[in-house]
Amino acid sequence: MKTFPMFLQMQGRRVIIAGGGEQAAQKCRLILKTEAAITVLAPVLDPELADLIAEGRIDWHTGPIRPCDFEGAALVFVATGCRATDSCLHMLAKSAGAIVNVVDQPDLCDALTPSIVDRSPVVVAIGTEGTAPVLARQIKTRLEEILEPRLGDLAALVGRLREHANTRLAPRARRDLWRWVFAGPARDVHRQGGERAAAKMIKHAIDTATFGTEDNGSVALVGAGPGAKDLITMRGVQQLQEADVIFYDRLVDPEILDLARRDAERIYVGKAPGCHHWPQDKISGVLVAAARQGKRVVRLKCGDPGVFARGAEEADALSAAGIPYEIVPGVTAASAASAALGGFLTERGTCDTLVLATGQSQTAGKSLGWMKTLQPGTRVAVYMGVGSAGKIAHEISVAGLQDVIDIDIVSRAQQIDQAIARCRASSLVRTVKESAISNPAILFLTWPQSTAQDVQSEKVAQLR
């Protein structure tokens, strides 16, 4: 970010608007939504500003503009409509130490005015750092449609009841209460115009501590997707925002953790190959222990928790301990890698069978059991297969398929350092080495349907 978004306290503070035309009037309308005192510096005013002066809503200074006029201002808008005049006033304001916004001159702006969705006290500001104001307005329009007109009134009601809730409920229960308010029947009733009924429902929930929650903890096994922050599902984001504690893997993009609630505890339980400071039994144990403390737990796994992620072992441990859990699917690495190649996991007429396999075998020296599934019209996606590249190439060659199987390799799919390579079995090891490909990676082994007529009977017999 080149700019840092922040909300300024405006109550009892002074805002200076230098200019008396339409541009100045636009900024005046914006600041009138706040509780700031407004002073307009201009020799003449357009009718709208003149009316505001007559109503006593703003102050007007007509004399020569000097640096002292800007001293102590929380914010200064320069909007005369003349670029040369604006530049001169910008220098005067800066000499007084003011924070300045010069209309239509982003290079002279200390602060940029965002597009605003106003449901006060709920305020959403959308900024593009001055690069795309039209886009900001489009986003604003979408948000205006999503956020109901009375949402600000509901937020204000919650603000008035917050102290009452603080005196009666523990911190965890308060979070559950407000989650229930904004995602449950109270908000629906308020949205439909039932402000009094909604207030009664919330007060009753506070007094009785009944709002659809229990003291028991729970666990969500959440798939973070293949790496990129924007490939996690909306359900996954929701779980992160409700979590008290997050146990995350080595391959999870750190930016995904930024989607979690700020005060959620984050615990790294990553396992690197050959270096297991967090063995699986220990991970399962801490999930159970945290849930027994009444916490909402997220176990954040790269990809999908049900695809070579040992999610079943954790689910079994939770089930044995009587801990409720939810499985939140994620985009698995094979899907991301296929998209990176510009293709699809299955293709009619070419590949109608998909096999997900792993290059990590629990038994050293044992043959790759999934090789027998490699038939015409089949694609095998081998997870973490780089370390087994030599073994894979050997077994393909032994089966006589070295000139039949297409091999695509995608390392760190959908990430900025993504790498892609294509080869045949005879050059697989060399390609991995020369392309400096490392795990996490997917190897796609494809026997296209189009080659089946020539080699099907002979090769299938060999594989049997």
Residue 175: φ, ψ to 5°: -60, -40
Whether pLDDT at 458 is above 60: no
Q: Report how far residue 342's alpha carbon sits from residue 198's, in angstroms, rounded to the nearest whole number.
A: 51
Q: Report how far residue 380's alpha carbon sits from residue 338's, in angstroms, rounded to the nearest whole number.
A: 12
Instruction: Write down the pLDDT at residue 241.
Output: 86
Instruction: Write down the pLDDT at residue 450.
Output: 63
**Strands 378-383 vs 353-358: parallel, antiparallel or unpaired:** parallel
In the chain, the percentage of residues whose pLDDT exceeds 70 is 93
Length of the chain: 464
Q: Report how far residue 116's alpha carbon sits from residue 136's, in angstroms, rounded to the nearest whole number.
A: 9
- 373 φψ region: left (φ > 0), alpha (ψ -120 to 50), beta (else): alpha
CB burial string 408-428: b at 16+ within 10 A, e below: bbbbbbbbeebbebebbbeeb
Both tokens of 351, joined, read: 């590949």
Stretch 371-377: mean pLDDT: 87
Q: What is the pLDDT of residues 32-68, one digit of tens each?
A: 999 999 999 999 999 999 999 999 999 999 989 999 9
Maximum Cα interatomic distance, the chain, rounded to a whole number of Å? 98
Instruction: Write down the pLDDT at residue 379.
Output: 93
Whether pLDDT at 133 is above 90: no
Strand partners, 223: 301
Enter the pTM of the model: 0.64
Burial class (CB in 10 A: 0-12, 13-18, 19+), 155: middle
**Strands 75-78 vs 59-61: parallel, antiparallel or unpaired:** unpaired
* Contacts (Cβ under 8 Å, ≥6 apart) of 279: 271
Half-sphere exposure of 459 (CA within 13 A, CB side): 24
Residue 101: φ, ψ to 5°: -120, 120
Stretch 213-228: mean pLDDT: 82
Catalytic annotation, residues: 249, 271
Local structure of 63: helix, strand or coil: coil
CB burial string 258-269: b at 16+ within 10 A, e below: eebeeebeeeeb
Q: What is the pLDDT of residues 389-422, one digit of tens each?
A: 999 999 999 888 888 899 999 999 988 889 999 9
Instruction: Write down the pLDDT at residue 156.
Output: 95
Is residue 357 within 8 A of residue 371, CB to CB? The reply is no
Instruction: Write down the pLDDT at residue 371.
Output: 83
Is residue 339 within 8 A of residue 414, CB to CB? The reply is yes
* Contacts (Cβ under 8 Å, ≥6 apart) of 258: 229
Q: Report how far residue 356's alpha carbon sits from residue 378's, in angstroms, rounded to the nearest whole number.
A: 11
Q: Report how far residue 320's alpha carbon sits from residue 347's, in angstroms, rounded to the nearest whole number.
A: 41
Residue 209: CB atoms within 10 Å: 15
Q: How confident is residue 454, by pLDDT bands cut at 50, 70 and 90?
A: low
Q: How confident is residue 125, by pLDDT bands cut at 50, 70 and 90?
A: very high
Instruction: Write down the pLDDT at residue 403.
Output: 84
Residue 275 DSSP code:
B
* Contacts (Cβ under 8 Å, ≥6 apart) of 277: 271
* Of 17 and 252, more confident: 17
Query: Amino acid identity, residue 271?
Result: K
Q: What is the pLDDT of residues 181-199, one digit of tens each?
A: 998 889 989 988 899 999 9
